[in-house]
Chain A
């Protein structure tokens, strides 16, 4: 047959290697995008999420001051009210300043960077760990499955925030005292990530067990592909959509967990404050009437967690074949 150009669908249909990406693209163009266009909540949530993530990434460009550069701070600016000129210097700050004259708006932008970084890395860790263990458990079954899922069950007996605190404490015990503060962010990622893998493992294991019995997997086994390449190359792409939903909701939970840990003083140190650390600092000034030091970081945290959560909810509905 002569190979005609044009019609991309028949073209991808002929080339098996290009088949999957185009199918993904087609699905993306139709169902998900359609549902997105028809959900105002999803659009607002996506807009707020994108706005917050972008302002966190470009914090050094947006922030009026660098809150970690002591030379830019003026103690006279301390406790400026939001949008009111300071009595001594006449400077005006959008969200006021803290006791040391640090611009609250700038600290929020920088704090959000740390919150988002810890949240995203923790979810990534949980995801990699959960997918790996879930694939192994679901593919091999037998005693591997039993051991992995038993560990998951035991861990699931405890709320993840408690597990995270415990891992944080143990890791602090292992790390020499002089490195504790600089390592705190990574310890936090480890603690939240390890406390959250069970969700992913359970879902991936369940989906893997279903996929494993299907013909394409048997075919792959027959032509002698290794278990690893079957798991990663064949099964994984087919179990990814529930993982995506859990990852989004986990991100919201991880951001809250990070804020909670930092608020309790077992998270980001004051030298690298996250939103939770800022709320912890702000709480000290609540009694003396400087409400804005706490109020704005708390609102940012809420907006961030809520919009990511709503996005996850929408994604769950949109990817659920039962509802379509």
Chain B
């Protein structure tokens, strides 16, 4: 098992190094850094001096190592557009995105599992059929159209909820939260639904399919024959054994929640890192793009790693026989 974990950690590091290489190449080869830093009036001497000072004359591998070392210390350079350190801008925007992502992820997982179990147990009921048919809409509608639809219904027609921004936020020094004010919570509702809906339907359909599969097994029939309550059979015996595929998909979906936050944040003008990234792409702000890429890959790799470790926890077979896993 230790070797399994070690190998996964090693793979994660390789992924991060490759992504770092991409981010570094963006810095180095997309647009001339000299061009960005020196104005029109410059001498060849200035150029040479700056090249030397920035280390642009060093061998590629040295520059790459330099870049990684600086990235590890949180130095991602200076935004071309805002002329401020990228790390500072990212830290300022990160709470908004993380709050949104966690709330939607939480909604997607809890509602997804609950509805999945419900539709599997009451397979032939009217409510289950209605839920299943509506979930088709959730899968086939593109995220941004769901957002627009919600804005139109709850913002424009009913005027119940705000449709853009975060509302009032409370500054905790290193973290700004919208969870403590009424307008902040109200502003969170529509973006969180938009972001979580697709993931929720996916998890729900998966849980339902897995549950139906498991409920047919002999040991469930045996558990029923033993006279266990429906609750014990459904939740302790059946649900537990659907968890391996559910954890895989949920983990991967949590990653894509962060990516799809870009779309949701743009629709709702939510001041998070996703909106920052889209603006960076529009205005070719390379340092911001590169830093976002690094940030998001660290999150992705961490999530994948946690998912792999959860397997070991959920599936006892992996604990005994780590080498074949």
Contact = CB atoms under 8 A, between A and B. Distances in A.
B301 interface: yes
A283 interface: yes
Interface residues of B, number: 37
B145 A298 contact: yes
A263 B264 CA distance: 11
Majority-rule SS of A interface residues: helix
Contact of A154 (B19, B255, B266): B19
A188 interface: no
B135 interface: no
A165 interface: yes
A260 B277 CA distance: 15
A294 B144 CA distance: 12
B309 interface: no
B284 interface: yes
Nearest to A252: B140
Nearest to A158: B300
Interface in B161-220: none
A266 B145 contact: no
Contacts, number: 92
Contact of B278 (A157, A265, A279, A298): A265
Interface string A36-79: 00000000000000000000000000000000000000000000
A9 B48 CA distance: 76
Given A260-B142, A302-B141, A159 B259 contact: yes
Contacts of A168: 281
Interface stretch (B81-89, B105-113, B289-297): B289-297
- A: interface residue count bin: 20 to 34
Interface in A209-265: 256, 259-260, 263-265
Nearest to B292: A166
A30 B174 CA distance: 67
Given A162-B259, A264-B278, A286-B152, A306 B145 contact: no
B144 A279 contact: yes
A260 B297 contact: no
Contacts of B263: 161, 260, 263-264
Interface string B121-142: 0000000000000000000111
Interface in A102-158: 153-154, 157-158
Contact of B280 (A169, A259, A287, A302): A169
A170 B142 CA distance: 25
A165 B297 contact: no
B9 interface: no
A316 interface: no
A168 B281 CA distance: 8
A173 B26 contact: yes
B15 A157 contact: yes
A279 B145 contact: yes
Contacts of A158: 255, 259, 296-297, 300
A313 to B, nearest CB: 11
A166 B293 contact: yes
B26 A161 contact: no
A169 B289 contact: yes
A259 B260 CA distance: 14
A186 interface: no
A287 B151 CA distance: 9
A256 B140 CA distance: 10
Nearest to B136: A306
A43 B119 CA distance: 30
Contacts of B296: 158, 162
Interface in A279-295: 279, 283, 286-287, 291, 294
Contacts of B304: 157
A160 to B, nearest CB: 9
Contacts of A154: 15, 18-19
Nearest to B140: A306
Contacts of B19: 154
B259 A309 contact: no
A211 B266 CA distance: 47
B57 interface: no
Contact of A173 (B15, B31, B266): B31
A192 interface: no
A283 B269 CA distance: 13
B281 A169 contact: yes
B262 A162 contact: yes
B284 A165 contact: no
A4 interface: no
B45 interface: no
B260 A159 contact: yes
A159 B266 CA distance: 17
Contacts of A291: 152
B282 interface: yes
23 contacts: A154-B15, A157-B15, A157-B301, A158-B297, A161-B259, A165-B262, A165-B278, A166-B281, A166-B289, A166-B293, A168-B281, A169-B280, A172-B284, A173-B31, A256-B142, A260-B143, A260-B144, A264-B263, A264-B278, A266-B281, A286-B152, A302-B145, A309-B140
Given A169-B289, A173-B286, 10 more contacts: A154-B19, A157-B255, A157-B297, A157-B301, A158-B259, A161-B262, A256-B142, A260-B144, A302-B141, A306-B140
Interface of A: 153-154, 157-159, 161-162, 165-166, 168-170, 172-174, 256, 259-260, 263-266, 279, 283, 286-287, 291, 294, 298, 301-302, 305-306, 309
Chain A to chain B: the 7 pairs with minimum beta-carbon distance, closest first: A169-B281, A173-B30, A159-B259, A162-B259, A159-B256, A173-B284, A266-B281
